[in-house]
Chains A and B, each alone.
Chain A
Amino acid sequence: MSDLAAASSLVHARDGTRLKGQEGPRADAVQSIGARPIIMTVIAAFLVFVFLAPILLVIAVSFGEKIEGASWVWAFDPSNYARVFVGIGWPDQITLLYAYKLGYTLAYAVLGSLIAIAFAFPFTYFLSQCSRPAQAAWLVFILASLSMSEVFIVMGWDIMLSNRSGLPALFKATGVTAWLKDTGWLAVLKDWGLANPRNVKFKTSQLATVLTMAYLVWPYAVILLYAPLSRIDRSMIEAARTMGAGSFTVMRTVVVPVVRIPVMGTLLLLFVYLLGAYVTVTYFAEPAHQTLPVSIYEAIRGATLNAPFGAAQAVVLLSTAGVFILASLWLGRLAENRGR
C-alpha cells in the first residue's frame, strides 16, 4: 500500500506549486519555537528505519553465500547476481530461466494495467457524469471491493473457470463442447493449451492470469482516475460540441489531453502494484510462465533456504522496475516538451 500512497502523490504532484506558497508565516512560527528541526529529525530517523533499513538488509543478504545442503552465511558473494542472469551452470552452460521470469513479470504487469485502464477509463468518464448520489454509491461499492484480498478474487475466478462450475461447464451444457469436438476445433484449442480431450480448459493459461490481474487493479484505476476526470471543465466539452466535434473527437482532442498525465501516473502505479502479484500467478500461470516474485518466494521460503539468491532476484526486480518508471517519466517529459 505504501507503493500506492507514493504513486498517488505522483498522480497529483502537479499541485506542488500551491503547497509551496502556503508555507510562509505558519512555517516561520513553528521554526521560531525550534520544534521543526526536532520533528524533521524524528521523521527522518523513522523513514530511515522503516523504509531504508529493510532495503539495505535485502541488498546485504543478496551477497550472502549459500552452503549446499544447509542454509547460508554472510559473505560478499556476487555470484547470486550472476546466477540471476546466466544461471548456476555458467560459464559451461547458460540458462535464461530467470530472465524469462523477469520478462513474464513485466509483461503481465504491463498488460494487466493496460487492460484495467482500458476498462476503467470509459467507466469512470461516464461515472463522473452521473448524478451525485449515483457516483457516491458506485464509489462506495468500488472502495469496498478493495477490501477483497487477492486470495478471494483468485478463488472467485478459479470457480468461474473450473470444469464443473464455470465456463467449461457452460460450454458443455449448451452443446458448444460437442460442436467443437465435431468440427475439430477442440483439437486446435488443445494445441493452444486451451482444451483437454474432454472439454475446453482455461486454467492454467496466460489469458486467465492477465485478466485476473486486470480485475485485481481495476478498482484502483477507477479511484485514481475519478478525481482528474470529474475535475474536467464541462464547458470545454460543451464548447467543442457546439463547434461541431463528435464524441470521439471530443474525447481525443479535449478529454484525453487534459488527463493524460494522471492516466500515465495511474498506469505506473498499477504496473508497480502488479509486479508483486503472487497468488494469481501461482494459480493461473503454468510453471513455464511464472514470474520472478514466485521464484523469490521459493528461494527464501522454499526447501533450499537460499535467501541470498531470493534477495538478489528481488534487487534485480526492484532495479528493473525503477528503470521502467524513470524511463516512462522521462518519455512523458519528452512528449510534454515536444508538445509545447
Chain B
Amino acid sequence: MTQNFKTRSASNLTRRTILKGAAGTAALAASGSMLAMPAIAQARSIKIGSYGGYFEDSFKKYVYPAFTEATGITVESVTQPNSSDWLVTMQQAAASGTVPADVSLYGKDTMIKATRIGDMLKPLDASKIPGVTNLDAEFLYEGPDGLVGVGSMAWFNAMVINPNEVTPAPTSWKEFWENPAFEGSLGISKKIDGRLLDITAKTFFDGAETLMSEDGIVAVLDKVAELKPHVALWWSAESQMEQAMKNEDVIAGSYYLDVANIMASDGFPIKPLFPAEGNPIGYGSWCLSPLSEKTGEAYEFMAFSSDPATQALMSRNIGTAPLVNRELTDLTDEEFAFVSGSPIITPAYESYLDNETFIKERWDAMLAGA
C-alpha cells in the first residue's frame, strides 16, 4: 500500500524503466556480462538497501551491475519497505547484533531521526570517498560525530495540472487558493510530510523559517485550512492520485515530478509545472550501519554513486534528479527537464522532527476541522 515516510515508492518511479526500454537495453547487456565474472565478485560483496518494487529492480538492473563492473564488488540487494519502517528494523537488528544491510537508503528526516536515536549510523571518512566532492555540500549530512549520510538521488513534489481543463496554466501556488475553478477539484497529499506545509509557508509566509515556531506552524495550518474546499482528494497512496488525474476526478494538485512526466508521455492529461515559488525537493542518502564490516566496500559504493556518470545513469533509468551540478553530467536539456527544475523549496526538516507530535496532531485536527 502506501509509503509513509519520505519514501517515494518506487513503483511509479520506475515505469520509466519500461518507457525507456531502449536506453535500458545497453545496461541489460552489461548486467548480462556481469554474470560471467563471479570469481572476483565472490571475493568482495556488500548488502545495499533500497525501496522495494520497480525502484529496487532498476537499481539491480542498471546501477549495481555497473558498480560491480567498475570495482569487482558484488551487491546483494536488500528490500526496504521505506525509510522510517526500515529504521525500526535496523534498530531491532542492531539490538540482536545482525546487519540486514550494510548500506541503507534513508530520507533526510529519517536520517536526522537516526542520529537522534543514536548509534544507528556509522561516521564516514569523507577523505576516503573521493567522489563526494562532486555533490553539493547540502547533500552531505553531518551528525554530531561527523559525516553520516552521502546523498544518492533527489525527487520533486511538483505542481501538476490537467492541461485540457486548466487554462491558462497557473504561475503561482496562490491560484490553488484563489481561483474558484479549482473548487472541489484538487488532489493533495494527506501525509504530513506531503510538503503542502512547506509550499504554503513559501507561498504566503517566510518559507521554512516560519515553520520553526509553533505560532508559525499554526499560522501556516490556518492558511492550509482555507484550501480545504478546493481539495477533492487528500491522497495517501500515490496510486490514488494517479487514478484521480487519469479519471479527471481532480484536475490539478501536487504530485511527483517523475511520475507525472511518465504519465504525460503515456498520453494521460497531466502536466507538471514549476510555479514562481518553486517545488519542494526531497532526497535520499546512503548511510552505513555501525555493525557493518564492509566499510571499505561502502566507501567505494558511495564514491561510485556520487560520480556524475552514475547520477546521470540514475536520472535516465530511475527518473531521479542528480545531486551533482548539471554541467558535470552528460544529461541533455530534455533529459534534465524530465527529472528536475527550479526554483527549489527546501522542506523545514528540523521542525518536522522537533515538533513532530504537535504538527501531526494539529495537521490532523485541521483536516478534520476538529
Query: Which residues of A are interface residues toward B (Cβ below 8 A)?
Result: 66-71, 83, 87-89, 95-97, 100-101, 158, 162-165, 190, 193, 195-198, 201, 203-204, 279, 282-283, 286-290, 295, 298, 301-306
Known: A287-B367, A302-B191. Contact between A197 and B356, CB under 8 A? no
| Least CB distance, B190 to chain A, in whole angstroms | 6
Q: How far is the CA of A197 from the CA of B184 in the complex (A)?
A: 8
| B240 close to A (CB within 8 Å) | yes
Q: How far is the CA of A195 from the CA of B229 in the complex (A)?
A: 12
Cβ-defined contact, B88 with A95, below 8 A: no
Most chain A Cβ neighbours within 10 Å, of B165, B193, B246, B249: B249
- Specify which chain A residues have a CB less than 8 angstroms from the CB of B112 in the assembled complex: 69
Scan B332-370; emit 1 where CB is below 8 A from any A CB, else 0: 000000000000000000001111111011001101111
Q: How far is the CA of A195 from the CA of B304 in the complex (A)?
A: 53
Nearest residue (CB) in A for B6 is: A303
- Specify which chain A residues have a CB less than 8 angstroms from the CB of B165 in the assembled complex: 198
Q: How far is the CA of A279 from the CA of B221 in the complex (A)?
A: 27
Q: How far is the CA of A66 from the CA of B355 in the complex (A)?
A: 12
Most chain A Cβ neighbours within 10 Å, of B116, B193, B352, B361: B361
Nearest residue (CB) in A for B350 is: A69
Q: How far is the CA of A95 from the CA of B366 in the complex (A)?
A: 11
Q: How far is the CA of A162 from the CA of B184 in the complex (A)?
A: 14
Scan B1-29; emit 1 where CB is below 8 A from any A CB, else 0: 10011100000000000000000000000
**How many A-B contacts at CB < 8 Å in the complex?**
123
Known: A69-B356, A158-B243, A303-B4. Contact between A97 and B88, CB under 8 A? no
Stretch at the interface among B141-149, B231-239, B314-322: B231-239
Cβ-defined contact, B183 with A305, below 8 A: no
Interface size class, chain B: 35 or more
Chain B binding surface, main DSSP class = helix
- Specify which chain A residues have a CB less than 8 angstroms from the CB of B68 in the assembled complex: none
Scan B242-263; emit 1 where CB is below 8 A from any A CB, else 0: 0100111100000000000000
Within 8 A of A (CB), among B93-130: 109, 112-113, 116-117
| Least CB distance, A289 to chain B, in whole angstroms | 8
- Specify which chain B residues have a CB less than 8 angstroms from the CB of A89 in the assembled complex: 361
| B169 close to A (CB within 8 Å) | no
| Least CB distance, A182 to chain B, in whole angstroms | 19
5 extra interchain contacts, Cβ-Cβ under 8 A, other than A66-B357, A162-B243?
Answer: A69-B113, A87-B365, A97-B361, A197-B181, A302-B192
B192 CB contact (under 8 Å) in A66, A196, A203, A303: A303
- Specify which chain B residues have a CB less than 8 angstroms from the CB of A66 in the assembled complex: 357
- Specify which chain B residues have a CB less than 8 angstroms from the CB of A301 in the assembled complex: 4, 84-85
| Least CB distance, A2 to chain B, in whole angstroms | 22
Q: How far is the CA of A319 from the CA of B236 in the complex (A)?
A: 28
- Specify which chain B residues have a CB less than 8 angstroms from the CB of A100 in the assembled complex: 368, 370
Known: A164-B248, A195-B184. Contact between A304 and B91, CB under 8 A? no
Cβ-defined contact, B184 with A201, below 8 A: yes
In the assembled complex, 24 residue pairs joining A and B whose CB atoms fall closer than 8 Å, in A order, are: A68-B353, A68-B356, A69-B116, A69-B354, A70-B116, A71-B117, A95-B361, A97-B361, A97-B370, A100-B368, A100-B370, A101-B368, A162-B243, A163-B248, A165-B247, A197-B183, A201-B184, A201-B249, A203-B232, A282-B237, A286-B234, A287-B190, A295-B364, A304-B356
